[in-house]
Structure 1
Amino acid sequence: MTAPSPRLLLASASPSRRRILRAAGIEPLVLASEVDEDALEAAHPHADVHELASLLAEAKARSVLAQLEAGAPAAIAGDAPLDPSVRTLVLVACDSVLELDGRPVGKPHTAHRTRELWDRMAGTSPVLWSAHWAGLLTRESAQAPWTLTDHRAAAGATTVRLASPEPEELEAYIRTEEPFEVAGALTIDGLGGAFVTGIDGDHHNVIGLSLPLLRRLLADMGVRWTDLWNAPGALG
């Protein structure tokens, strides 16, 4: 009997990351991490942007690993449920942080903070860092616990060229509240996309998950990217 293909478990409830994976032929399982990002950032005041994004991505992965150890598989979500016969999971955790003037810019949370950030960012070309942590989990049976057998980590950087929104445009954008909970108070795949005039690098990295970078990390662990294809249409 052929062993079932591995499944990808995304340590994030991000709709954007799920859309990226689905468009790439992968219907992910989802188990959201439980990480206080602001507290972690405050605990590492001297971390550079690359280091901070990497710390956040690993913390999210460790949070999900802890949930799995505590019996959280029942909480795993996804449009394609986890087959009990699956013996391999690929855990993927990501975090994005914008670098502006050499300093990290996280999620603004409020209208006031969003306005302050855009006053600094408009017309500039900051760098968006997206850190990726990928782990290989295996189990001997449907009742056995998952065991982390290998992992890799890396971060991608993409330069984002920003427009200078008119004051009325910025206030309209702020009223949508979209920029409040995204890295650097900007998006490229939503309402903020019109304020991005161009990018240098992988556009998926700006959305929060770099497909070529993730493919390389998985290949280093012996996982073939196409073995993860399971979304409707991916297999013909």
Structure 2
Amino acid sequence: MELPLILASQSPARAGLLRKAGIPFDTVVSHVDEDALVAAEGPLSPRETALRLARAKAEAVAQLPGSENRLVLGCDSVFELDGVSYGKPYEAEVAVQRIAAMSGRTGTLHTGHWLVDTRREPALGEGAVASADVRFAHMSAAEIRDYVATGEPLQVAGSFTLDGRGSVFVEQVVGDPNAVIGLSLSTLRELLRAVGVSATAWWDGTAQSDRS
């Protein structure tokens, strides 16, 4: 039996997906300064940005005490509209403007995944991006204001969620819906296979929740 995965993210949505998939994990927050990292990297595409941030989170946690001989997963999501990257809006007015621009249109949600295997010397890193196109309904100004007032879109990439209130505005998803939520389980399965680990090896019926 492998030790629990380390999830380098404090996202409740990602934690929930791992729980439902029966993959035990510990949570360790990376504290990576995402804005500073993106600024230092220079121009990156939305897809590249998602993968670079995921890698930074995983590698930061992999260097911390307690990560030895473990598998560390970093994830980051970036929403793309008209070729522009959109992360978390943080402020209500920013969220209102972004959601208004998304109304009645289709954007792409990119989720980067980076898995560090610290059981090897040197540590081995593998990464992949899962993307999905999201078509939004036409939203009235009142609906947008009501949604932003809940606070839900302020701390999520693209200013919407698929597993919360924002789902009422999503008409169609083309691609892996879990990637839109924040973690593609099929992508994780392939990354685990690349380092010789089967996700099903954890299915012993005893480890079903976050141990952190």
Pair in the same fold by TM > 0.5? yes
- Structure-to-structure mapping, 1:12-161, within 5 angstroms: 12-66=9-63, 68=64, 71=65, 73=66, 88-138=69-119, 149-161=123-135
2:105 alignment partner AA:
T
Show CA shifts across 1:103-124 (max 9, x none): 1011111011111101211111
- Structure-to-structure mapping, 1:220-231, within 5 angstroms: 220-229=194-203
| CA–CA distance in structure 1, aligned partners of residues 122 and 75 of structure 2 | 17
- Deviation of residue 90 (structure 1)? 1.6
2:72 alignment partner AA:
L
- CA-atom RMSD in angstroms: 1.9
Asked which structure has the greater CA Rg, the reply is 1
1:134 alignment partner AA:
L
SS in 1 for 2:105: coil
- Deviation of residue 41 (structure 1)? 2.2
| CA–CA distance in structure 1, aligned partners of residues 61 and 183 of structure 2 | 18
Superposition TM-score, scaled by structure 1 size: 0.82
- Deviation of residue 148 (structure 1)? 5.4
| CA–CA distance in structure 1, aligned partners of residues 194 and 34 of structure 2 | 28
Q: Percent identity?
A: 39
| CA–CA distance in structure 2, aligned partners of residues 163 and 193 of structure 1 | 10
> Kindly tell me: are residues 225 and 46 of structure 1, through their superposed partners in 2, closer, same or farther at Cα, counting changes over 3 Å?
same
> Unaligned 5+ residue runs, structure 1?
77-86, 140-146
| CA–CA distance in structure 1, aligned partners of residues 203 and 35 of structure 2 | 35
| CA–CA distance in structure 2, aligned partners of residues 24 and 123 of structure 1 | 33
| CA–CA distance in structure 2, aligned partners of residues 103 and 198 of structure 1 | 21
> Kindly tell me: are residues 8 and 130 of structure 1, through their superposed partners in 2, closer, same or farther at Cα, counting changes over 3 Å?
same
2:156 to 182, 185, 192: 182
| CA–CA distance in structure 2, aligned partners of residues 148 and 185 of structure 1 | 38
| CA–CA distance in structure 2, aligned partners of residues 231 and 24 of structure 1 | 11
> Kindly tell me: are residues 231 and 19 of structure 1, through their superposed partners in 2, closer, same or farther at Cα, counting changes over 3 Å?
farther
- Deviation of residue 198 (structure 1)? 1.2
Show CA shifts across 1:54-91 (max 9, x none): 1111111122123x2xx3x3xx9xxxxxxxxxx84221
SS in 1 for 2:104: coil
> Kindly tell me: are residues 34 and 148 of structure 1, through their superposed partners in 2, closer, same or farther at Cα, counting changes over 3 Å?
farther
> Kindly tell me: are residues 228 and 149 of structure 1, through their superposed partners in 2, closer, same or farther at Cα, counting changes over 3 Å?
farther
2:90 alignment partner AA:
H
- Deviation of residue 233 (structure 1)? 7.9
| CA–CA distance in structure 2, aligned partners of residues 193 and 231 of structure 1 | 31
1:175 alignment partner AA:
A
- Structure-to-structure mapping, 1:153-232, within 5 angstroms: 153-229=127-203, 232=206
| CA–CA distance in structure 1, aligned partners of residues 77 and 23 of structure 2 | 21
| CA–CA distance in structure 2, aligned partners of residues 231 and 108 of structure 1 | 39
- Deviation of residue 169 (structure 1)? 1.4
> Kindly tell me: are residues 39 and 149 of structure 1, through their superposed partners in 2, closer, same or farther at Cα, counting changes over 3 Å?
closer
> Kindly tell me: are residues 154 and 185 of structure 1, through their superposed partners in 2, closer, same or farther at Cα, counting changes over 3 Å?
same
Is the CA contact 1:25–1:232 (under 8 Å) kept in the aligned structure 2? no
Structure 1 residues 18-27 or 223-232, which shifts more?
223-232
Aligned length: 208
Superposition TM-score, scaled by structure 2 size: 0.91
| CA–CA distance in structure 2, aligned partners of residues 55 and 177 of structure 1 | 27
| CA–CA distance in structure 2, aligned partners of residues 231 and 207 of structure 1 | 25
